[in-house]
Structure 1
Amino acid sequence: MKATMNGSMLPAAAPLSLMLMLGPLSASAQTEHVVELQSTKIESSPVQVDHDGWVTYRSSAGSKTSTDLSKVPQSVSVVGRQQMDKQKAQTVMEALKYTPGVFADSRADGLFDGLFIRGFGGFGGLANFDKKLDGLPLRAGQYLATPTLDAYLLERVEVLKGPASVLYGQASPGGVVNLVSKQPVLDPLHSVELQMGSNGERQVGIDLGGALDDQGVWSYRLAGMSRRADTQIDHTEEQRIAIAPSLRWQPNDDTSLTFLASYQKDPSSYYTGWVPAEGSVLKNANGKISRHFNPGEPSVDAYDREQSMVGYKFEHRFDDVWTFRQNARYMYLESEYKGYMVNYVNPWASATELNRLLDHSVEDQQTLSLDNQLEAEFETGPLKHTTLMGLEVSQGRSSMKLGRSYAVSGIDYLNPRYGSTSALPDVASNIVQKTTQGGAYWQDQIEWDKWNFLIGLRQDWVTTETDDHLGDTRSSQSDDHLTGRVGVIYNFDNGVSPYASYSTSFEAVTGVDAQSQAFAPMKGEQYEVGVKYQPPGWNSFITVSAFDITQENVRTSDPNNALYYVQSGEVQVRGAELEAHASVTDNLNFILGYTVLDPEVTKDTNAQIEGNRPVSVPLNQATAWADYDFSGALHGVSAGMGIRHVGKSYGDTSNDLSVDAYNLVDAALRVDLSKFAIELRGLSVALNVKNLNNKHYVASCFSAGGCFYGQERTSLLSLKYDW
Structure 2
Amino acid sequence: MKLISPILRGVAVLAVLPAAFSQTTEEDNDVIELAEFTVDADLATGYRATTSLTATGIGAKIMDTPIAINVLTEDFMKDTATTELREALQFVPGVGTSPRNESEFTLRGFSGNISYRNGQYRRQNYTSWNAQRVEVLKGPAAIFFGTVRPGGAINYVTTRPKLGESFTDVQAAVGSEDYYKAGFFTNVPVGDNLAFRFGAGGLDSLGKAMFDYRKESYLGASMLWAITPNQQLIVDLETVHRNNYMQSSRGYAVSHSDYLFNPAVPAGMTVRAWLDSQGRTDEPTYNIYAPIFGADDPYGRFYGYSEDSFEKFISRTVDVEYLARIGDSLVWQTQLNYGYDEQPGMRSNYGDTTPFADGTVNLAFERWNNIRDSYNAKTKLTWRYHLGETSHTLQAGYEFQDVIFNKPGYYDPASQRYNGSLRGVDIIGFDPSSDPQPSGEATIQASGQTFDITRKITETNEAYFIVNQSRFFDERLHALYGARNNMLSRKVAYTRPVTNADSGLGSPEGWTPQYGALFKPRPDLSFFAVYSESIEPNYAIDADGNTALPIETEGMDFGIKSELLDGRLAGTFTYYTLDRGNVAARDTDREIATGNSPYYIFGNTSSSEGIELELNMAPTDNLQLVFGWSHMFEAEVTESTDPARIGQALNYTPDDKVSVWSRYSFDTGSLKGLTVGLGGRYSAAARMTGDPNRVMVEPSFYVMDLMLSYNPKIFGQEVRTQLNVKNLFDNDYREGPQGMFGPPRSIILSMSTRF
TM-score (norm 2): 0.82
Q: Return the letter of the residue paired with 2:47.
A: W
Return the alpha-carbon distance in structure 2 between the equivalents of residues 362 and 516 of structure 1: 19
Deviation at 1:135, TM superposition (A): 0.8
Deviation at 1:335, TM superposition (A): 2.8
Distance 1:567 1:341, change over 3 A: closer
SS of the aligned residue for 2:302 comes to coil
Return the alpha-carbon distance in structure 2 between the equivalents of residues 560 and 198 of structure 1: 44
Q: Could you say which residue in structure 2 is the equivalent of 1:452?
A: 478
Q: Return the letter of the residue paired with 2:461.
A: Q
Kindly indicate whether the alpha-carbon contact (under 8 Å) linking 1:184 and 1:209 is maintained by their aligned counterparts in 2. Answer: yes
Distance 1:223 1:539, change over 3 A: farther
For residues 556-635 of structure 1, the aligned pairs below 5 Å read 556=585, 564-597=599-632, 598-632=634-668, 633-635=670-672
Q: Could you say which residue in structure 2 is the equivalent of 1:668?
A: 707
Is 1:430 aligned to 2:454, yes or no?
Answer: yes
Indicate which of 270, 276, 289 corresponds to 2:298.
289
Q: Return the letter of the residue paired with 1:408.
A: I
Which shifted more, 352-361 or 219-228?
352-361
Q: Could you say which residue in structure 1 is the equivalent of 2:513?
A: 484
Return the alpha-carbon distance in structure 1 between the equivalents of residues 312 and 244 of structure 2: 5
Return the alpha-carbon distance in structure 2 between the equivalents of residues 615 and 44 of structure 1: 41
Indicate which of 696, 705, 708 corresponds to 2:732.
696
Q: Could you say which residue in structure 2 is the equivalent of 1:642?
A: 679
Q: Could you say which residue in structure 1 is the equivalent of 2:176?
A: 198
SS of the aligned residue for 1:602 comes to strand
Is 1:247 aligned to 2:223, yes or no?
Answer: yes
Is 1:658 aligned to 2:697, yes or no?
Answer: yes
Q: Could you say which residue in structure 1 is the equivalent of 2:557?
A: 528
Distance 1:412 1:555, change over 3 A: same
Q: Could you say which residue in structure 2 is the equivalent of 1:118?
A: 108
Distance 1:445 1:395, change over 3 A: same
Q: Deviations over 1:446-500 (max 9, x none)?
A: 0002000000200111111111334356854443121111010011225110111
Kindly indicate whether the alpha-carbon contact (under 8 Å) linking 2:362 and 2:426 is maintained by their aligned counterparts in 1. Answer: no
Kindly indicate whether the alpha-carbon contact (under 8 Å) linking 1:133 and 1:178 is maintained by their aligned counterparts in 2. Answer: yes
Q: Return the letter of the residue paired with 1:152.
A: W
Is 1:153 aligned to 2:177, yes or no?
Answer: no
Q: Return the letter of the residue paired with 2:173.
A: Q
Kindly indicate whether the alpha-carbon contact (under 8 Å) linking 1:317 and 1:324 is maintained by their aligned counterparts in 2. Answer: yes
Kindly indicate whether the alpha-carbon contact (under 8 Å) linking 2:90 and 2:96 is maintained by their aligned counterparts in 1. Answer: yes
SS of the aligned residue for 1:168 comes to coil
Return the alpha-carbon distance in structure 1 between the equivalents of residues 540 and 131 of structure 2: 35
Q: Could you say which residue in structure 2 is the equivalent of 1:352?
A: 359
Number of equivalenced pairs: 655
Distance 1:416 1:593, change over 3 A: farther
Kindly indicate whether the alpha-carbon contact (under 8 Å) linking 1:43 and 1:253 is maintained by their aligned counterparts in 2. Answer: no
Q: Could you say which residue in structure 2 is the equivalent of 1:265?
A: 241
Kindly indicate whether the alpha-carbon contact (under 8 Å) linking 1:57 and 1:541 is maintained by their aligned counterparts in 2. Answer: no
Distance 1:406 1:708, change over 3 A: farther
Deviation at 1:680, TM superposition (A): 4.1
Deviation at 1:403, TM superposition (A): 1.9
Distance 1:659 1:43, change over 3 A: closer
For residues 208-607 of structure 1, the aligned pairs below 5 Å read 208-213=186-191, 215=192, 217-267=193-243, 269-273=245-249, 274-277=251-254, 282=289, 284=291, 287=295, 289-298=298-307, 300-343=308-351, 347-401=354-408, 402-405=421-424, 407-409=426-428, 411-420=430-439, 421-424=442-445, 425=447, 426-427=449-450, 430-449=454-473, 450-472=476-498, 475-477=503-505, 478-493=507-522, 495-510=524-539, 519-556=548-585, 564-597=599-632, 598-607=634-643
Return the alpha-carbon distance in structure 2 between the equivalents of residues 67 and 511 of structure 1: 37
Q: Deviations over 1:406-448 (max 9, x none)?
A: 6235543322412444234525863111111101111000000
Return the alpha-carbon distance in structure 2 between the equivalents of residues 350 and 43 of structure 1: 66
Q: Deviations over 1:172-202 (max 9, x none)?
A: 1111111111211233332111111122111
Q: Deviations over 1:301-359 (max 9, x none)?
A: 122232211121111111122101111111122232122244366x1135332332311
Return the alpha-carbon distance in structure 1 between the equivalents of residues 185 and 81 of structure 2: 15
Q: Deviations over 1:54-75 (max 9, x none)?
A: 1111111111121110111111
Return the alpha-carbon distance in structure 2 between the equivalents of residues 352 and 283 of structure 1: 8
Q: Return the letter of the residue paired with 1:649.
A: A
Return the alpha-carbon distance in structure 1 between the equivalents of residues 609 and 590 of structure 2: 32
Return the alpha-carbon distance in structure 2 between the equivalents of residues 204 and 56 of structure 1: 28
Deviation at 1:637, TM superposition (A): 0.9
SS of the aligned residue for 1:423 comes to helix
Q: Deviations over 1:576-633 (max 9, x none)?
A: 0000112222211110000001211112344233113213111110011110111222
Distance 1:680 1:606, change over 3 A: farther
Deviation at 1:269, TM superposition (A): 4.3
Deviation at 1:221, TM superposition (A): 1.6
Return the alpha-carbon distance in structure 1 between the equivalents of residues 541 and 754 of structure 2: 56
The runs of 5 or more residues in structure 2 that have no matched partner are 1-32, 261-286, 409-420, 592-596
SS of the aligned residue for 1:608 comes to helix
Deviation at 1:77, TM superposition (A): 0.7
Task: State the percentage of identical aligned residues.
Answer: 19
Return the alpha-carbon distance in structure 1 between the equivalents of residues 514 and 570 of structure 2: 24
Q: Could you say which residue in structure 1 is the equivalent of 2:13?
A: none
Return the alpha-carbon distance in structure 1 between the equivalents of residues 589 and 701 of structure 2: 40
Deviation at 1:293, TM superposition (A): 3.4
Distance 1:331 1:656, change over 3 A: closer
Return the alpha-carbon distance in structure 1 between the equivalents of residues 555 and 348 of structure 2: 40
Q: Could you say which residue in structure 1 is the equivalent of 2:70?
A: 77
Q: Could you say which residue in structure 2 is the equivalent of 1:24?
A: none
Kindly indicate whether the alpha-carbon contact (under 8 Å) linking 2:613 and 2:629 is maintained by their aligned counterparts in 1. Answer: yes
Distance 1:512 1:251, change over 3 A: closer
TM-score (norm 1): 0.85
SS of the aligned residue for 2:143 comes to helix
CA RMSD of the aligned region, Å?
2.7
Which shifted more, 498-507 or 511-520?
511-520
SS of the aligned residue for 2:144 comes to helix
Q: Return the letter of the residue paired with 2:120.
A: L
Kindly indicate whether the alpha-carbon contact (under 8 Å) linking 2:142 and 2:483 is maintained by their aligned counterparts in 1. Answer: no
SS of the aligned residue for 2:125 comes to coil
Return the alpha-carbon distance in structure 2 between the equivalents of residues 626 and 668 of structure 1: 10
Deviation at 1:95, TM superposition (A): 1.6
Q: Return the letter of the residue paired with 2:158.
A: S
Kindly indicate whether the alpha-carbon contact (under 8 Å) linking 1:153 and 1:224 is maintained by their aligned counterparts in 2. Answer: no
Q: Could you say which residue in structure 1 is the equivalent of 2:119?
A: 135
Return the alpha-carbon distance in structure 2 between the equivalents of residues 61 and 45 of structure 1: 12
Distance 1:700 1:332, change over 3 A: closer
Which shifted more, 508-517 or 399-408?
508-517
Return the alpha-carbon distance in structure 2 between the equivalents of residues 184 and 388 of structure 1: 27
Kindly indicate whether the alpha-carbon contact (under 8 Å) linking 2:508 and 2:535 is maintained by their aligned counterparts in 1. Answer: no
Q: Could you say which residue in structure 2 is the equivalent of 1:722?
A: 754
Kindly indicate whether the alpha-carbon contact (under 8 Å) linking 1:157 and 1:177 is maintained by their aligned counterparts in 2. Answer: yes
Return the alpha-carbon distance in structure 2 between the equivalents of residues 230 and 62 of structure 1: 39
Deviation at 1:45, TM superposition (A): 10
For residues 31-46 of structure 1, the aligned pairs below 5 Å read none
Q: Deviations over 1:57-105 (max 9, x none)?
A: 111111112111011111111111110011110001012111111112x
Distance 1:303 1:156, change over 3 A: same
Q: Return the letter of the residue paired with 2:108.
A: R
